[in-house]
Structure 1
Amino acid sequence: MPQKRPVPLGRAVTLDGLFARAAGRRPGATAVEDGSRSITYEAAGKRSDRLATAILRSGVQLGDPVLVHCTDHVQALVAQLAVLKAGGVCVPVPCGAGAGVRGRIAAVSGAELVLCSGATRTHWQRPAVVLDDERTWARVTPLRVDRSLPRSSPTDAAYLIVEQDPAGPPAGHLIDHRAWALALTDRVRRAGRADRGVLCRAEPGGPDTLTSMWWSIAAGGTLHARQTVGTGSGLAVPRSGPGRIATAVFSPQTYAAVLAETARPPARGPGTVVLVGEPCPPGLVDRHFALLPHTRLLAEFSPLDGALPWAAVEHAPPGGDRPGGHVVGGATTRVRITIRDIEGRVVPMGSTGEIWASGAALPFDRLGARGLSAPLGTPCAVSGRMGRWNDDGLLEVTGPRVRA
């Protein structure tokens, strides 16, 4: 892997360092707004300090994985900050994850502790800290903050994101703080700062939520979260927010559902929509510009973990110079994409093969479940998608990997 370099995010090159910097600048600003619940930067910082102290006292060591399975974004933020400050590795579990998904995450991570909500506690047969239980905070709040905090380091693992491909063996990707910072810096350069907040319509624990949360935090903005689609207001900016929120983040699947329920343009829509994960279908691009002709549409291709982009493209409105098919754009900063054949050899330009990637802005290691078979000798950045470089030098995804 290429040697990693510091990124232009000041001296805060860990994720909890980014949060601390934002909290220092805007302590009374709202960090997360989730329905009727919200929390300021100052309050989230203080709560996570004491929670980090509590989990250190429970025996969590540097590099230990900790499951985070919460029902709202306020709890999820505090829990993730606590794990990062304690030098642990966040293992996010999507709020609505079924038994199969939870089993894969548990098998890959081997985590012994879960930070959760009362509603998700019953899913785990292991020690847990229930974050919406008043008894938890009665014990945690009086604790004196451990002097060793924060224990995070830029090259330490921050997250373990587990693949959810049922056809493959359970495996996950370890992402360090610096890789997140590199991806974030590139996103800010491409789409702008999110100081006016980020709109997210995803459940806690999902990769699009992680993207939204850290993008907003880096600018000291507010994550405006709503976990359901089907309310008829999926693109509406909250009335308590600014005149126009700069950014909304969706997966293509969620955005398709949001647009399907949107009959006419909202009075207060986002200035930019960013789609993360799978390629954006052309029909979704057309629908976006039909409803939001003045809203930018950017897409990030982030296979496997859904969090760190490999390639990015800005889609143009009808009549513009638009790429066809499932074009996902050029490689993002500090990512090198290659197209390879079944034996791992780079194919000639224009030929179709499997999409591989390497670089400092990607996961640094791939883990398999204990006792289960996983291709650990394979580079961690193998997409499982077929693709090619088109005549414009842009990456085009042509379909899933052809299995032997």
Structure 2
Amino acid sequence: MRLLAPIASVRPGPIDTHAVVGRLRLTLLSAGYALAAAPALALAIVLVLSVPLGLISVGFPLALAAVPAAAALAGVHRRVSGALLGAEIPARYADTSDRGLLGRPVRWLRDGARWRDVAFVWFSGTGGLAMSLLPPVLLAAPVPYVVASIVDPGWLSVLLLGAGGLALLVWWIITPPLVRARALAERAILGGSRLAELERRVEQVTESRSETLDLSAAEIRRIERDLHDGAQARMAAVGMTVGLAGKLVRSNPDAATALLDEARQTTLDALDDLRSVVRGIHPPVLADRGLAGAIEALALPIPVPVTVSVTVTERLPDPVESAAYFAVAECLTNTVKHSAATRAYVRGSYDGTRLRLAVGDDGHGGADPTGSGLTGIARRLAAFDGTLTVDSPPGGPTVVTLEIPCPT
């Protein structure tokens, strides 16, 4: 059993091996929580002292050491408590990369996430410590009782064994809810308030909407340019050619026939241009074969061998399919242009609530998430509240993961 399996996996029912191991696991984690209380309390004191001492400059070096240390300790607890609850506890620190050594502490004073770290270390060193000590103390309590009953057997030993059994019973009952309560408390402290979450969500939606409008405007300009330079120009040429053929139909029928043939060919070329524009809006292969089939067709002309394993059996909304299709197309294009890969793959699945796609290759890695291509993909996905994750260490391999919420 994994040490950080969600608490829900610990059975509350009859005593069996699974339940015993689960409670022992939670007790070990609780002991780890308790051990972390010492550095947490020390950091809490230093953080509080660094604020008034900052007036005489002594607090700045204290803050520069204590604030990152508190963030690191909080990060560990975010991962542990998040794993226990089966949900991520995000960290939303303000960016201070553009601030100097003196500017960072000043910015930290106005960062709500840093103050949540302060609240966390105080909780971890006080109330959290009391909560986390109970399970290991209750589990260890019967040991001296058993030893005493062996050393001095008698009626008192029966009472001691009964007290030890009662401690084990209390340990059995309270350990899962107590560890869960500790994890929930940390999520409430470190995750921020519901209001802050809603404010962040509004900011994301506002930014996403602005980027989507810019992307839509750019797409409209592209379509207008393609129509103007392609189909529109050809149709204008058809009109002129047919008009000239009409003037020559009596005086020079052969020339008129040649002009009409030219007009017919120009019309066919204009239709090809229109089809090309339509394919850029919503590829027909998506309508005909769905997302999985469209990605398979997309991978065929790629000069690098591409393995496609996309299990999306149901049809998704057209905008979602189109966004996913063009995102995968851009990723494969980047693979061909920049990665020097010898093979690539596209994997995907849909679980009824979220579409997940991963595009990977065995190239030299080093893909820049802030590059124009990947940034464009991220903006396209943001319109659907989707996310883009890039894992591309130097030397490779590269894996680009796309996720789009899409409940049925």
Q: What TM-score do the two structures reach when normalised by structure 2?
A: 0.22
Query: Per residue, is there more helix in 1 or in 2?
Result: 2
Question: Greater RCO between the two (CA within 8 Å, min separation 6)?
Answer: 1
TM-score (norm 1): 0.23
Q: Which has the larger radius of gyration?
A: 2
